Every structure is written in structure tokens, then in C-alpha cells.
Structure 1
Amino acid sequence: MTFQEWKINLAEWLLLKVKYPSEYIMGTPGLKRFDQYKEKKKIILTLIPSHDNLGDHAIALASKTFIENEFADFEVIEIGINDIYKHAKALRRARHPEDMVFIIGGGNMGDLYRNEEWTRRFIIKTFKQYKIVQLPATAHFSKTPYGQKELTRAKKIYNAHPRLLMMARDETTYQFMKQHFPNKTIMKQPDMVLYLKKEQQAERDGILVCLRNDKESFLKTEERQALLQAVRDEYGEVKTFTTTIGKRVSRTSREQELNKLWDQLRGAEVVVTDRLHGMIFCAITGTPCVVIRSFDHKVVEGFHWLKDVPSMKLVENPEMKEVLRAIEELIKSGSSYKNMPPREHYFTDLRRKINGDAL
């Protein structure tokens, strides 16, 4: 082990020690917690969030729905991102030979969200005897010295796992994974939220806007404010929404919170958003959507899965006049939002692919 690797290991250890005192990393409490599952084959669905981002909670819900539908012969055990450390030993104790670990996808692979990335590495190291499926993800390791050190560490851990299947939800990530994890099975699949289908609504009115104000935003603060004002000037009162709701969401409350937002989207004539899941939520609720790019490739390439849907319009260079033109075109197009591809368009044979039968 190099000195640099030792420092990264120490940093990970200290972070976990602070977050999970006395029971961090495969602690002993509840060692028999999952013993009732010993004779049952199961899928451990993990990296489940507890923060306020409904996009990530929708991924978790969609992933569980997919497993329940497509792997109905398996038990499903959901383990939160903050619980996998203390339950890992009990889960391994209850292992069935056919058990698998599914890691939910999203945009947290890389150095942008350290806790999620380090937890993913812990899972991959700890469950080395299991088949692990990384569900569709976007990878972003920055070109900074820190980002490249994190990439080096990730490559070592990911490549050491003998049965790690990785899914990329965009072309850039797909090529990145093929380059850095050359011995892994790599697949390209859309975001899991497209597995969900929600009831559509015929009567719609008004414009809804959801624009990021964080490190993933392409627009500067003044550009965001000017765009919002331009839409108001053109269409009168404009309502805003966010997929980060300002309170922690649990596995028991996530569907209720998601349904609140989906109900709001169903009533809009057009949505304007630069959030990937703002776009995808529009897709599954049949809501016309003007899509603005984010700071990286995530939204633009995520749009490629929906480019043939008439109710979706991408504005890569979000000048006000282009956004206003796209809104007007969608309003004039009427009910074309009903032409969303069926679930099978994206997920046919995914179980067979995961099992290695259709690759």
C-alpha cells in the first residue's frame, strides 16, 4: 500500500468512525437480525437515501418496484446508506448462495458526493462473495488532483470485485466505465425512474419551473432569475417547484412525498427544468417539458432516452428567447404528451441481462 492509499483509507475510516460510533463497519449489534432469511434467496437493495432529494428517492422506489416485478422469486431487503455499515455482518451471516446486492443508481458515482461514493466502495469490498449489480448511474470524477486520486482508489476497488455488473445511464459514463473498468460487464440502461408509470391527466393549466441553484447548475444566479422573470412576463403567474424539499424523507414517507410532486406536475401545461428527474418525472406523468442542460453531461445525455417523445424539448443553450419559443411550441402541440414509450421499450430482458443470459 502506498502512502497516498494509506491516507485515503485513514480518511474513510475516520469519516465512518465519526458517523457510526461503536457500530460502524460490520458492527455486532443485531447479528441475528436477518437469520430468518437464511434459507431464502434475496436481493439486498442498498445505498437507499434518507436526504431530501426526491429524485434519488424515486430511483430507490423504481429499483424496488423493478426487483419486486422482475425478481418475484427473491426476497427484497432494503438497507439505507447509513445502515449498511452496521448490518453488513448480519446480512453476510444470513447469506443464501443465490443472494445478490443491488446498489441504486443516480448521479453520485465520483468525487462530487463523497459519502455515497465511499459507501459504494465499502459495499463492493464487503460483499465480495456476492454478485453485485450497480444500477444505472452517472459517473463524474473531476480532473482535480483530489478527483483523480479518488478515481484511482475507485478503480482498484471496483476492478477487484469478481462479479460486479455496472450500468451506465448515459453514453459518457458508458465509455468512462469501459475505459476504467475494462474487465467488468458494462451495460447502458436509462435511469430506473423510467420504469415507473403514473396516471396522466387531461386537464392542464399554467407553467411550472424547476431550476437548480446548486453546484450542478449551468445557469448563474442572475441568469436563472432573468429567465424566470421572462417566463412570468410572457405567461403571467408562474409557479415553481423543487425536487429537493427541505426535509428528510424515509422509505415509509417517500411515496407520499413523490405523489404530492407528481400530482403537481400532472396539472401543468408545460414544465421548464434543468433537473434530470424534473425531466423524467414529466415523462412518467405525461407532462410536456422544456429541458435545460446542467453543468455536466447528465441532463443532455439523459434526454437522449426521451428525444423521440414529442412533448420533450431540449434547449442546450438556454437563452431566454429559445426557452420561450420551446414553451410556445409545446403549448401549441396539444396532447402529444400521450406518446410516451411503454416501460418495455427501456427494460425488456433486463432480468436476463443481469443473470448473464442475454448479454
Structure 2
Amino acid sequence: MTFQELKINLAEWLLLKVKYPSEYMMGTPGLKRFDQYKGKKKIILTLIPSHDNLGDHAIALASRTFIENEFADFEVIEIGINDIYKHAKALRRVRHPEDMVFIIGGGNMGDLYRNEEWTRRFIIKAFKHYKIVQLPATVHFSRTPYGQKELKRAKKIYNSHPRLLMMARDDTTYQFMKQHFSNKTILKQPDMVLYLKKEQQSERDGVFICLRDDKESFLKPEERETLLKAVNDEYGEAKTFTTTIGKRVSRVSRESELNKLWDQLGGAEVVVTDRLHGMIFCAITGTPCVVIRSFDHKVLEGFHWLKDAPSMKLVEKPNTAEVLLAIEELIKNDSSYKEMPSRDHYFKDLRQKIIGDIQ
């Protein structure tokens, strides 16, 4: 670690201690770290990321916001994906009978992202006497021998927990969970980021593009280049952005980094994206959006929750001509954004569904 990195880590630690004084007691010995929570009912929010994907950080922020609003009678303890291993024992030591563990959702359930999946299984095993809530997720186990072996292991661990509540953020995941985790309570809920809401901007200009270049992309590299060139030729230099920003994001920096991106998106006339959270960020900022599918069902079915918004257009079989047509329609119609359904539309009864499933 360089001296500069050490300074950054120290600064983040100090900010965390100020922002979350009750849950960030680095000087407290291991097993006594959470002693201030003895006798208090708590929600442990975990699988919190530290990587550079702002979509996952938005899920973490929305999940915490949901808990603070809807479970105000509970203390909240956030534990990072790597820290849960070393703090599980100390957390169990101060357990209250009503304590719950919430695992943030996202697209990391399955064999595509092993660290997240294996950590989830550790949490389920380590907190076997707790109510565990898996917040809205997308599942993907490949049909390879490895993927099927991982599914078999997941089924054994998930199904053995007596109080695991699971949420699917798309119908394919919901049906998969019903089939493979048949003795669990399973709910269908949208991505937690739809719990957030940002103020809309009145001045908008230009086309913004956010396209994947990883294993989840539906477009081939040459197709992405062709599309980008065509948009530039038609609408001038398109602004490109990404939800993976190339630097570590912490609990301290996540909200400021998200606000930077949301402010940027809020100034776009139209956004073209194949990222689920690119689409959802447009929804919460009131930005017209052309949605391109990803390699699996995640974006296609995520769009289901937003399909009635006139400023959202899905291009299910993406080609350059179809995307350009969709951009033109949104601009031509001056796609004045109509208010998205309120958070109550999506989440009104969710606390009761969670509490009601405790027994």
C-alpha cells in the first residue's frame, strides 16, 4: 500500500467514525466491538460492496434508506462483504431475539460472481438462528457442470435455513426460486434503487450512452462501435458514461459519487443504456431512456417495472437502426417525463410482509 493510499484509507476511516459512530468502532476489541448494541433489536445489513460499480452501491444506499424509514425502531449495522467473516461471531454475541440480517440484492446470486455467492452462503450458515431477508435479487446459475454443482450446493444451504425470506426482482428469478427453494417464502419486488427519488432537472441537452463491455453485454464489440459512431453522426458527439467508475467506493463516498452521476444523467435529453441501473437511474432522475437488453433476462424483465413510463423505450432486438429510431421518437415527442409511481406503489407493504414472515 502506498503512502497516498494509506492517507485515503485513514481519511475514510475518520469519516466513517463520524458518520456511523455506533457501528464503526475500530478501536474496540473484536468480540466487544458491538457491545453497545446489547439489549437492542438490530438489523444487520450486509454484503455491502467496496468495488467500483455504482449500481451495487445504489442498492446498498437504497436498502439502508428503506430500513431507516420503514424499520425506524431497529438499530442498523452495515457490514461490508469482506468484513462479515471477521465480525459474525461478535454480532452473534450481542443477539437480540428480534434481530434480523438483511442481505442486499443485485445480480450476484449464482455462479457468475463467486465471491458474493459464497459470502451469501456463509451468512446463511453463520446466522442460522436469525431471520434472514434476501432483498430483491436476480439469480443466474449457468447450465455448465460447474454451475449445476454450485446450484446443488446453494439449494442445500438455502433450504436448510428455517427463516430465510427471499425476494426476486424479476419473474424468471421468481419462478427459479419457487422451483429450487420450494420451502421458502418468496416475494416478487423491484430493485431496491426504485425506493430512491431524485429531483428532476429542467434543462436537458444531448444524447448520453452507457454500454457494457463485459460478460453481461448482449452487443458484440463491433456492434457497440457501430452504434456509437451512428449516434455521433446523427446527434453530434454523444457523451459516454459508466456506472463502473474505476476506483474504490466506500460507505463514505458512495452517496457523493452517486449524486455526481445522477446530476450528470439529469442533464441528458436521452440516455441509451444496456445496464439495469443505467435504466433505473434514468427512472429516478426522470431522464428519457432507450433501453437495450443484456445477455440474460435481467434488463428485459427489470424493464417490466417501468414499462408504463412513456419516456422509457425498450429495444429488445438491438440494432443501430432501431436504437436511432427510439432516440428520435423520444426527442420528437419531447418525452416530457411523467411522474413514476411512488415508492409506496412498489414498497408500501414490504415491512409487514417481512415482519409477518418472522414467525
What TM-score, normalized to structure 2? 0.91
The residue type equivalent to 1:179 in the other structure is Q
Contact 2:109 2:139 in 1 (8 A): yes
Distance between the aligned counterparts of 1:37 and 1:29, measured in 2? 15
- Correspondence 1:67 to 2:43: no
Cross-structure match for 1:98:
98
Cross-structure match for 1:21:
none
Cross-structure match for 1:270:
270
Distance between the aligned counterparts of 2:261 and 2:183, measured in 1? 41
Cross-structure match for 1:87:
87
Contact 1:201 1:266 in 2 (8 A): yes
Q: How far is 1:353 from its partner?
A: 0.6
Contact 1:306 1:312 in 2 (8 A): yes
The residue type equivalent to 1:76 in the other structure is V
Contact 2:165 2:357 in 1 (8 A): no
Q: How does 1:14-29 map to 2 (within 5 A)?
A: none
Cross-structure match for 2:190:
190
Contact 1:352 1:358 in 2 (8 A): no
Cross-structure match for 2:114:
114
Which runs of no fewer than 5 residues in structure 1 stay unpaired? Answer: 1-27
Distance between the aligned counterparts of 2:332 and 2:100, measured in 1? 48
What TM-score, normalized to structure 1? 0.91
Contact 1:52 1:249 in 2 (8 A): yes
Contact 1:291 1:312 in 2 (8 A): yes
- Correspondence 1:337 to 2:337: yes
Distance between the aligned counterparts of 2:332 and 2:200, measured in 1? 19
The residue type equivalent to 2:340 in the other structure is M
Contact 1:349 1:358 in 2 (8 A): no
Cross-structure match for 2:347:
347
Counterpart secondary structure, 1:232: helix
Cross-structure match for 2:8:
none
Distance between the aligned counterparts of 2:222 and 2:263, measured in 1? 30
Distance between the aligned counterparts of 2:62 and 2:222, measured in 1? 35
Distance between the aligned counterparts of 2:337 and 2:63, measured in 1? 25
Q: How does 1:100-179 map to 2 (within 5 A)?
A: 100-179=100-179
**Percent identity of paired positions between Structure 1 and Structure 2:** 87
Cross-structure match for 1:15:
none
Counterpart secondary structure, 2:215: coil
Which digits, 9 at most, give the CA deviation of each residue in 1:43-95, with x for residues without a partner?
00000000000000000000000000000000000000010000000000010
Which digits, 9 at most, give the CA deviation of each residue in 1:314-341, with x for residues without a partner?
0011111110110011112225313311
Counterpart secondary structure, 1:62: helix
- Correspondence 1:30 to 2:30: yes
Distance between the aligned counterparts of 1:178 and 1:68, measured in 2? 29
Which digits, 9 at most, give the CA deviation of each residue in 1:206-265, with x for residues without a partner?
000000000000000000000010111110111000000000100010001000000000
Cross-structure match for 1:317:
317
Equivalences, count: 332
Contact 2:310 2:335 in 1 (8 A): no
Distance between the aligned counterparts of 1:254 and 1:357, measured in 2? 32
Contact 2:163 2:358 in 1 (8 A): no
Contact 1:103 1:134 in 2 (8 A): yes
Which digits, 9 at most, give the CA deviation of each residue in 1:268-307, with x for residues without a partner?
0000000000000000000000000000000000000000
Counterpart secondary structure, 2:209: strand
Contact 1:310 1:339 in 2 (8 A): no
Query: How large is the Cα RMSD of the aligned pairs?
Result: 1.3
The residue type equivalent to 1:200 in the other structure is Q
Counterpart secondary structure, 2:32: coil
Counterpart secondary structure, 1:225: helix
The residue type equivalent to 1:252 in the other structure is V
Counterpart secondary structure, 1:337: coil
Distance between the aligned counterparts of 1:68 and 1:144, measured in 2? 41
Counterpart secondary structure, 1:101: strand
Distance between the aligned counterparts of 1:131 and 1:88, measured in 2? 15
Which runs of no fewer than 5 residues in structure 2 stay unpaired? Answer: 1-27
Counterpart secondary structure, 1:336: coil
Cross-structure match for 1:18:
none
Contact 1:29 1:86 in 2 (8 A): no
- Correspondence 1:302 to 2:302: yes
Q: How far is 1:192 from its partner?
A: 0.1
Distance between the aligned counterparts of 2:155 and 2:277, measured in 1? 28
275-284 or 343-352, larger mean C-alpha shift: 343-352
Cross-structure match for 1:211:
211
